[in-house]
Amino acid sequence: MSNADLTNANLTNTQLGGAYLTQVNLSGANLTGANLNRTTMQKSSLRDAELRGANLRFADLEGANLISADMSYADMTSVNLIKANLHNANLSNAYLSGAKMQYVGMGSANLVRADMRDVNLNLASLSHSDMDSVNLTNSKLRGTNLTEVNLQNAILSGADLSGANLSGAYLFGADLTGANLTGVDLRGADLATANLNGTNLGGALWVNGMQCAKVSIGGCK
């Protein structure tokens, strides 16, 4: 099925696993608890859609419009969200381990307590998003825009944030153990009580605007 109009459709708990729904209009649709495992929805519109608790494992949502969609508690293991638009989307408590999210635009999104281990967020834009207590262990965030993001108590151990923009970010209590922050912009960021044990800050711009030495492990030298 492609180019179909399913605006505001009630698809609660529907079995759509493996279906082809490319460029389908699902704006405002209710897909709560739906099975979308391995479903192809490239460039489809799910704006304002309800996907709470849905199964989106291995689904292909490349280039999809998910503005203001509710994906809280959804299982999105290894989902493809490359170049998708998730501005103002709700992904709180979602399971996104192994997701492909390069070039995603998700400003002002809710990612509170989301499980994002091993996610690829290279060159994504997450400015002003709420990522309180998110788990980004071993994730890739190279060149990612994280300006004024709330990362309080976030787990970023082993993550690669090289070249990312974290200016004005709130990292109170964040775990950055062994993370790569080389060349990162941290001007105006709050790192109070953050764990920087083994963190590589080589060449980073520190909170006060000072550039860290090329060899800066565990703190800005």
**Mean pLDDT, residues 130-134:** 99
Same domain, 144 and 102: no
Of 41, 75, 108, the position where a domain reaches its end is 108
115 assigned to some structural domain: no
What is the pLDDT at residue 70? 99
**Band of residue 10 on the pLDDT scale cut at 50, 70, 90:** very high
199 assigned to some structural domain: yes
Same domain, 126 and 100: no
Q: Tell me: the pLDDT tens digits for 12-62?
A: 999 999 999 999 999 999 999 999 999 999 999 999 999 999 999 999 999
Q: Measured in whole angstroms, how far is the alpha carbon of residue 121 from the centre of its chain?
A: 7
67 assigned to some structural domain: yes
| Residue 1 reports pLDDT greater than 80 | no
Same domain, 177 and 95: no
Rounded to whole angstroms, how far apart are CA atoms 46 and 56? 13
Provide the mean pLDDT of the chain: 98
Rounded to whole angstroms, how far apart are CA atoms 44 and 77? 19
DSSP code of residue 213: P
Rounded to whole angstroms, how far apart are CA atoms 76 and 160? 21
Between the CA of residue 197 and those of 45, 171, 201, 218, what are the distances in Å? 43, 14, 11, 5
Same domain, 134 and 104: no
132 assigned to some structural domain: yes
114 assigned to some structural domain: no
What is the pLDDT at residue 2? 80
**Mean pLDDT, residues 109-114:** 99
Q: Tell me: the pLDDT tens digits for 150-207?
A: 999 999 999 999 999 999 999 999 999 999 999 999 999 999 999 999 999 999 999 9
Give the up-direction half-sphere exposure of residue 141: CA atoms within 13 A in the CB hemisphere: 28
164 assigned to some structural domain: yes
3 assigned to some structural domain: yes
Q: Are 154 and 175 in contact (CB under 8 A)?
A: yes
Same domain, 102 and 163: no
88 assigned to some structural domain: yes
Q: Are 26 and 1 in contact (CB under 8 A)?
A: no
Total domains in the fold of the chain: 2
Q: pTM score, two decimals?
A: 0.96
Rounded to whole angstroms, how far apart are CA atoms 79 and 165? 25
- CATH code for position 55: 2.160.20.80
Q: Which domain holds residue 191?
A: 121-221
